[in-house]
Amino acid sequence: MVYIMEILTDGGCRGNGRASAIGSAAAVFKTKHGYQSWTSSLPAYPPPTNQRAEIRAIIVALELALEKFDRLDHNPALDVKIYSDSRYAVDCMTKWIYKWANNGWINYAGNSVANRDLLEEASDLDDRLKEEGDVTYIWIPREKNKMADEICNEDMDQQCDDSG
């Protein structure tokens, strides 16, 4: 038996790259009865960026998929599909992450890979989940990711309210 999980992800940042920036990551699971969503506010340090938020959203999705798998009564093979409107995040997980890991986290230009901390965490979670089945990262246009985008923006709105 194969257990299918489909997860929409989105990350956002307000004040991208500035010390006062805020960021959020969201994961939305498609379920038989609708949707379940989770958010994760990014810490103030290192300063949030759009890229860090998008990768964090994938981490949230991977963590939740592993938690959900651990709660199952049986041990099916997994088929996990993670959707993102970030080409950067999808390309990190599908094209670049293994090259970077094999190159000591140095990119093509000879520089240290940006967001290495998050990418290493995502890679570890991805490896763990792939022990249970397939994990696929799929880019989708922004207009097909409205639910995750709304959840992400609600979390950033809450952060603004809490700090104001």
Q: What is the pLDDT of residues 132-143, one digit of tens each?
A: 999 999 999 999
Q: Where are the domains of the chain?
A: 2-163
Task: Classify 2-163 by CATH class.
Answer: alpha beta
What the block records as the tokens of 12 is 């956002």
Whether residue 29 is predicted with pLDDT greater than 70 in this model: the reply is: yes
What is the pLDDT, as a whole number, of residue 17? 80
- Whole-structure pTM value: 0.95
The residues, ordered by sequence, that sit 6+ positions from 58 with a Cβ below 8 Å of its Cβ are 9, 82, 84, 89, 93, 122, 137
Report the DSSP beta bridge partners of residue 139: 84
3-class SS at 40?
Answer: strand
Q: What is the pLDDT of residues 37-83, one digit of tens each?
A: 999 999 999 999 999 999 999 999 999 999 999 998 888 999 999 99
Q: What is the pLDDT of residue 37?
A: 96
CA nearest neighbour of 97 among 126, 140, 71, 138? 126
7-19: per-residue pLDDT in tens? 999 999 999 988 8
Task: Note the pLDDT tens digit of each residue in 110-137.
Answer: 999 999 999 999 999 999 999 999 999 9
- Mean residue pLDDT of the chain comes to 95
